[in-house]
Structure 1
Amino acid sequence: MVSTQAHPSRSFADLSRAGLATLVPELLLCGQLIDRSGMAHLIVEFGRDGMAQVAIEEWQASSPWYTRRMQKALRYEGDDVITIFKGLQLDIGAPPQFMDFRYRVDDPRHGEFRLDHCGALMDVEPLGDEYVTAMCHDIEDPTFDATALATNPHAQVRPIHRPPRRPADRHPHCAWTVVIDDFHVPPVTPPHTERIGRTAAYAVELSPIDPADEGSGDYAGPLLADVRFGDFSQSALVRIAEEVCLQHHLLALGFLLAVRKRVDEDTAREIARKQVTGIAGVTAQRIRDALGLPADLHGLATVLSLHPLLNPKQYVDREIRFDGTALHLWLGRDGLVDTDGGWPALLDGAHLEAVQALVRGVDPHFTVRVLSEDPAGMLLTVDTTDQPAAECGEVAITKVSTGAAFVFEDRGIPLPLYVI
């Protein structure tokens, strides 16, 4: 292992409360864009119907577990509609504003939500009604229920109306009821969901929330029309950021599990590597821009320390070393993510595309090379080239999504939503 003077690695805890409040919605949005990165490659391999089946299985497998984790972390565990809606507000499947959920609560067992804007629909609508139906019918029906079932096994999510839109400019884009009824027979938990529930990702312990911190340390109060992340305490935002990164990893594990059922191991790993390459580059660029970081080694060191590919640090065995001149990334093989076989476990000296996309998302003049590699891990260094690298195809595919350039806005103080 090459020795370098270690600059203290930045982490979520090193960011200010305001910086974290800016970063968290970015992490939620980039979690939603994981599918924009992965699904194009599934269509090539399996066609539209096969893509839809993988999407169903990956969200069914992952969303119940990360939903329960966030409920516990922010102390809003319950079995009612309000608990379900709070979970959606902190879910990578429903990033704020890009997926503009609006909620109504009639009583603890009945409610509605609508999407005043659905970024995913904007991405898919140009592909035609068949793709819209695949997303808004075939995928949403089982996956919305899977998320709700994490709160109450008798919950059902059913459409009031949904795309394809008739007329073409119909608003809201869709509307749904959520009903909890003891006569609803819970569906059988599929094997892929049970398997993800046995991963190290589901069980990992993350940073505790300090109740003495200024700001809210939980979401135990009323349901709010919008979550304003700046109202949370610094330690609560650290925990939320860690949980959202874990959502990325759980979704990726569900994706890989579903793909492995359909192809051989080499092909499955190739598809997963394309998925992580596309999202790694887009996420790096969005983190850089959102936090106003410089496109230099200092900025890259910070992006590496905050990027979901390498977080949370309790799950990923990694170390960022920066002495002001040289920047090194150590990827160990003893992390919990390696036990699960997640994204970092797909990276090695012969497969650096995702890390290349990440560093070039900060500046296309950056490139990585291997300094050493053995069973314990891999040490990479960052070099600067004279000519900028062309954007790789996987990143370009992900940027087809309107989410890649989406801009969040300040919506002011949110209103609490009470039972009508």
Structure 2
Amino acid sequence: MPAAGPTGSHDPLDSLGHATLARLVPELLLIGQLIDRAGMPALLGEFGVDGMRDVAIEEWQAASPHYTRRMKTALGITGDGVAEIFKGFQLDVGAPPEFMDFRYGVTDHDHGEFWLDHCGALMDVEPMGDRLVTTMCHDIEDPTFPATALATNPRAVVEPIHRPPRSPEGRTPHCHWTVRIDPDAEPATLPGPAVEAASSRLIGFRFAPPAPGDTAGQGALDDYAGPLLTDLVFSDFTSAALIRILREVYLQMHLLAVGFHQSVRRRSDAETADRLLAYQATGIAGVAAGRLRDALGADGGARGLERVLAVHPLAGPAAYTGFSSEVSADGASLAVRWDTRADGFADDTWLPLLARDGLRPLAAAAQAVDPRWTVERVPSDGSGVEAVLRLGDEPARESDEVAVTRISTGAAFTFGPTRTPLPITPV
């Protein structure tokens, strides 16, 4: 099982204040959801609607069984009932809070239901017509919800009560599902895409224990072993728990990239898979950096850019990606480096493609912080991917990949007031 990091570098998350850690969790969950918005346009152009559908199914099937198990371990979630399945949903990039407003009801260990009072994904797709709505809400969800649930109980059965296309128009909740544990059901096995993804190093990747620098005013929850809650208030968790959550959310994103790349490669070739994954990486890099800049209140200078990149999906978690950075002595430039000995460079993630097309994903991220940033690749002996970023005179035009990703309503989504978490008990 891989150990933490090739260089023993400090985890940037340890240096963040508790309030910042809590603010980053929903942001990164939402960014993870938007990865699909970054990749789907490229799939549509390459394979059409049916090919896009099949890659989306395989992408989530490849990732969610693995990352659900990891998150449950990280937060001490034990048990195999519907409440534990729902806890997994609450910490899944497929269900970012509020944007995908999951509500839950639990009857007993074996029976429950969930519904979405608001589905941001539906808001993105509904204007495109019933065919794409059916593709997402029927064709994709039918095999992917069970793939997530099986990580908690392989005898879980997830069935719809209703789902879009909405009839009557404007119907709420947007969809409604039941979950039951059927003791007579044949236990589900890992889907084929998850079996292929299982060889990735991140599946068994281990982190060093968090060493947060700020524990003042932190919450009391160091795990999620207690009752299922209507909503998670992330400031109620300790700094160490938040760091564990964030590390796992990053790995969820990387696992989606693995599933995407492997699915495209199966139906085409390695060159096509690399090209489409690089498109996805560039699109999400720009949108993610813009949201993180705002969440952190970072300015457009070198130190502001360093703050954003330190918590960006291209860089996190540092132990897996091998990322490091340093602001120049005069504060005018930023040097960044990825250590290619890091485990992420051995997986089918974005990382091996970073240098493609002149570090295009890095440029998209930097220019979302300030469009004047330029990227200069530093020659290397192969042990790292290195670049220096400097502010230029002219703002760059936003890349097509970022502009397309930004069409999603999630790109500008604003989280609402903190909700009061209430325990959900069997009715």
Matches within 5 A, 1:221-236: 221-236=226-241
Deviates more, 1:283-292 or 1:181-190: 181-190
Contiguous gaps of at least 5 residues in structure 1: 1-7
Output the amino acid matched with 1:253.
Answer: V
1:365 matched to 2:372? The reply is yes
Find the counterpart in structure 1 of residue 34 from structure 2: 33
Measure how far apart 1:207 and its partner are. Answer: 4.2
2:320 counterpart SS class: coil
Alignment of 1:262-411 (within 5 A): 262-323=267-328, 324-348=331-355, 350-411=357-418
Give the equivalent residue in structure 1 for 2:171: 170
SS in 1 for 2:314: helix
- Separation in 2, partners of 1:128, 1:408: 27
Q: Distance in 2 between matches of 1:275 and 1:76?
A: 32
Alignment of 1:114 onto 2:121? no
2:184 alignment counterpart: 183
Q: Which residue matches 1:243?
A: 248
* 1:58 alignment partner, SS class: helix
User: Which secondary structure does the structure 1 equivalent of 2:283 belong to?
Assistant: helix
Report the CA distance between 1:349 and its aligned residue: 6.1
* Residue type at the aligned position of 2:264: V
1:96 aligns with 2:97: yes
Contact 2:147–2:191 (CA under 8 A) maintained in structure 1: no
Matched residues in 2 for 1:238 and 1:52: separation?
A: 33
Q: Tell me the alpha carbon deviations over residues 173-225 of structure 1, each in whole angstroms, 9 at most, x when there is no partner.
A: 00000000111223443332112122111111124257996521100001110
Q: 1:232 to 1:273 in 2, by over 3 A?
A: same
Contact 2:55/2:260, CA 8 A, preserved across alignment: yes
Letter in 2 for 1:383: R
Runs of 4+ in 1 over 4 A off after TM superposition: 209-214
* Identity %, equivalent residues: 52
Quote the Cα distance in structure 2 between the aligned partners of 1:176 and 1:165.
14
Distance 1:322 1:108 in 2: 53
Are 1:74 and 2:75 counterparts? Answer: yes
Give per-residue Cα distances to partners, 1:102-142, cap 9 Å, x unaligned.
Answer: 00000011000000000000000011000000000000000
| Offset, 1:13 | 1.2
Structure 1's 208 and 410: CA in aligned 2 closer, same or farther, altered over 3 A? farther
Tell me by how many angstroms 1:350 deviates.
3.9
Residue in structure 2 matched with residue 48 of structure 1 by the alignment: 49
Structure 1 residue 412 and structure 2 residue 422: aligned?
no
Contact 2:162 2:176 (8 Å CA) reproduced: yes
Please list the CA deviations of residues 366-386 of structure 1 after superposition, one character each: whole Å capped at 9, or x if unmatched.
Answer: 111112233212220001111
Q: Any conservation in 1 of the 2:89–2:95 contact (CA below 8 Å)?
A: yes
CA gap of 1:357–1:9, structure 2 versus 1, over 3 A, is farther
Aligned partner (choices 213, 216, 222) of residue 217 of structure 1 = 222
Per mean C-alpha deviation after superposition, the further-off stretch among 342-351 and 169-178 is 342-351
Shift of 1:10: 7.5
- Please tell me the residue identity of whatever aligns with 2:418: R
Taking a change above 3 Å as real, the CA distance of residues 364 and 10 of structure 1, as seen in their structure-2 partners, is farther
* DSSP 3-state at the match of 1:417: coil
1: CA distance, partners of 2:192 / 2:89: 24
Contact 1:349/1:370, CA 8 A, preserved across alignment = no
Q: Is the 8 A contact 2:11 2:319 kept in 1?
A: no
Partner of 1:130: 131
Q: What is the TM-score with the length of structure 2 in the denominator?
A: 0.94
Query: Using the alignment, how far apart are the partners of 2:204 and 2:67 within structure 1?
Result: 10
State the alpha-carbon separation in 1 of the partners of residues 344 and 62 from structure 2.
17
1:267-292 CA-to-partner distances (Å, cap 9, x unmatched) read: 11110000000000000000010111
Does the CA contact (< 8 Å) of 2:11 and 2:317 recur in 1?
no
Q: Structure 1 CA distance, aligned partners of 2:356 and 2:37?
A: 26
SS at match of 2:419: coil
**Secondary structure of 1:310's match?**
coil
Contact map agreement 1:112 1:177 (CA 8 A) in 2: yes
| Larger deviation, residues 84-93 vs 177-186 | 177-186
- Structure 1, residues 226-252: CA drift from partner, whole Å, max 9, x if none? 000000001111111111001000111
The equivalent of 2:142 in structure 1 is: 141
